[in-house]
A and B are shown apart, each in its own frame.
Chain A
Amino acid sequence: MIRGIWDRETVALLLLAAIMPMALTFLWFGGSGAIGRLALALIVAGLWHLIFMLARAQPPSFAGAIAALAVAMLVPEELGMLQLALGISFGSVMAELVFGGWGRNVVNPATVTLAFLGFSFPAAPWPELVLPIAWAAIPAALIGVGFGVMSGRIVGGAVLAGVFALAFGVEPGPVLPAAGVVLVLLVCDPVASAATGGGRWLNGLLYGGLVVLFMLAWKTAAPVQIAVSAALFSSLAAPLLDEAAIGLWLARRRRRHG
Chain B
Amino acid sequence: MPSVNTRAFFSKMDRAKYISHLDLNHCIQRAMKRSRLPIWQTEGFNPHTYVAFMLPLSLGQEGVCEAMDFRLTEEISPDEVMKRLNDSLPPDIRVLRIAEPKYKNTDITTAEYRVESDVDIDKFRSFTDSEQILTEKKTKKGVSTVDLKPLISMLTIEEDAITLRLPAGNDFNINPSLLFEAYKSATGEAISRLRIVRTHIFCADGNEFI
A and B from one complex: no
On B, residues with C-beta under 8 Å from A are none
On A, residues with C-beta under 8 Å from B are none
